[in-house]
Amino acid sequence: MAEIEFTHVTKVYGGETPAVRDLNLKVGEGEFVVLVGPSGCGKTTALRMVAGLEEITDGEIRIGDRVVNDLAPRERDIAMVFQNYALYPHKTVYENLAFGLRMRKVPKDEQRRRVEEIAGKLGLADMLGRRPAQLSGGQRQRVAMGRAIVREPEAFLMDEPLSNLDAKLRVQMRAEIARIQKALEVTTLYVTHDQVEAMTMGDRVAVMRDGVLQQVDTPQRLYDAPVNLFVASFVGSPPMNLFEATVEADGSQLVFGETRLDLGSRSLRDYSGRRIVVGIRPEEVREASGWDGARVRGRILLVEALGSEQLVHIEIAATPLERADLVDAAAQPPGPSLGVEDLERSVTLLGRFDRHLLLTPGEAVEVAIDARLLHFFDLETGAALPAANVQAVAGVAG
């Protein structure tokens, strides 16, 4: 086991804008770190640089005590699982699993012992004689995993290994990979574009955008205290509700639509008279009865029943966030609905409501918004303003 460390790592392809910019990241021994971000954010490039499949333009990557910048992939003692598995089609499952051992001149008996052990653990024991074409998607995925495990490498690198599986199998393999990683305690760097995968699997999650690392933290911290609008909008499903508001009364009040919200202890004195971005997680948008906080009147647009709960789209009067460049494109909330004259500038709030509430589209509704649960962001830079102490409040409110 070894740690992986990026120090000021930059990757530039042929003089264009860098794919990875000044990346500093440390994956501790036995730690599971997930690199996540929208496609083209540089996460795969970062991973491939660790594997040695991509040259490092600037900076330094260390695996254990060794700087690996100039080492060939085979000298780095890492194993990689590819998005498309990259099984050798002309070799049997056994040969696929044993390939890395053979390359490293492990004695034949030892090879056999290790391959059979892994095959047993992964439920591939009956398939050692088959070729990849004769396996199902899940089995191929397992062979790809097995090929990495059997080597007993210093670290695992995984490049979206689950994205070719169907939804159900993906959830199952997600848990299986996390379990295997915990059992083996192998340092793992895992790349995905799926924030749910990132949140559920990683000890820590590193969010990247346009080649720049945005934030590295535990999934919970990332969710509760995003450092900027991008992370706030990227992490969480359904995404955080975002809209603009004005800070008034010397920083003690927030005004949007007809609502005037007392900020209490969370004074925004420095932003008095300016516009900021307000964010609130769907589960913190509550039907007014029985909850503290400012009442905001709205109208129900749509109710999506999920069984355990319902997702409610509520239109309220507020100014939609127009800085699309600051948020994750995929997570942009639906635009204001047309044809509602009395709400000149409206925002659709997404709320997770208890399934027992009877709600019908078109109905007027009042939601409670607790100022202590709000996230604030600078409208210019997208940076988070003094963090909301969600944990503490949730404890009180719940």
Partner 1 sequence: MSAVAVTRPRSRKRLRKAGWNALALLVLAVMVFPVYWMVTTAFKPGHDILSYTPQFFPTHPVLSNFTDAVHQQFFWNAVKNSLIVTSVVVVLSLVLAFLAALALAKFSFYGRKPFIVVILGVQMVPLAALIIPLYIMMSRLHEVDKLSGVIVMYLTFALPFAVWTLRGFLLGVPKELEESAMVDGATRFGAFVRILLPLLGPGLVATSIFAFILAWNEFIIAYVFLHTPEKQTLMVWLASFTTLRGTDWGPLMAGATLCALPVIIFFLLVQRKIAFGLTAGAVKG
Q: Which is nearer to partner 1, 140 or 313 (CB)?
A: 140
129 in contact with partner 1 (CB under 8 A)? no
The span of 84-92, 107-115, 344-352, 357-365 binding partner 1 (CB under 8 A) equals: 84-92
Burial of 246 (0-12, 13-18, 19+ CB in 10 A): middle
Helix (H/G/I), strand (E/B), else coil: 158: strand
Let me know the angle formed at the C-alpha of 181 by 178 and 182, rounded to the nearest 5 degrees. Answer: 85
The span of 35-43, 46-54, 60-68, 251-259 binding partner 1 (CB under 8 A) equals: 46-54
The values of phi and psi at residue 292, to 5°, are -75, 170
How are strands ordered across the β-sheet holding 346-354?
286-287, 364-369, 294-305, 309-317, 346-354
124 in contact with partner 1 (CB under 8 A)? no
Q: Which of 46, 68, 78, 213 binds partner 1 (CB under 8 A)?
A: 78
Q: Which of 45, 111, 141, 181 binds partner 1 (CB under 8 A)?
A: 141
Helix (H/G/I), strand (E/B), else coil: 136: coil
In eight-state DSSP terms, residue 351 is E
Q: Which is nearer to partner 1, 24 or 136 (CB)?
A: 136
Minimum CB separation of residue 98 from partner 1 in Å reads 10
In eight-state DSSP terms, residue 228 is B
- Contacts with partner 1 by CB under 8 A: the residue count is 38
73 in contact with partner 1 (CB under 8 A)? yes
Q: How far apart are CA 35 and CA 40, in angstroms?
A: 12
Q: What is the dihedral of CA 286, 291, 295, 299, to 10 degrees?
A: 30
Helix (H/G/I), strand (E/B), else coil: 369: strand
- In 3D space, the residue among 3, 143, 153, 5 whose CA is nearest the CA of residue 78 turns out to be 153
Q: Which is nearer to partner 1, 81 or 207 (CB)?
A: 81
11 in contact with partner 1 (CB under 8 A)? no
84 in contact with partner 1 (CB under 8 A)? yes
The span of 157-165, 275-283, 289-297, 368-376 binding partner 1 (CB under 8 A) equals: 157-165
Q: Which is nearer to partner 1, 44 or 181 (CB)?
A: 44
The span of 21-29, 83-91, 115-123, 236-244 binding partner 1 (CB under 8 A) equals: 83-91
Provide the CA 78 distance to its chain's centre, in angstroms.
Answer: 24
Q: Which of 15, 89, 107, 398 binds partner 1 (CB under 8 A)?
A: 89
Q: Which of 165, 205, 240, 388 binds partner 1 (CB under 8 A)?
A: 165
Q: How far apart are CA 170 and CA 191, in angstroms?
A: 15
173 in contact with partner 1 (CB under 8 A)? no
Interface positions with partner 1 (CB under 8 A): 51-53, 72-74, 76, 78-80, 82-90, 99-100, 103-104, 131-138, 140-141, 147, 151, 157, 164-165
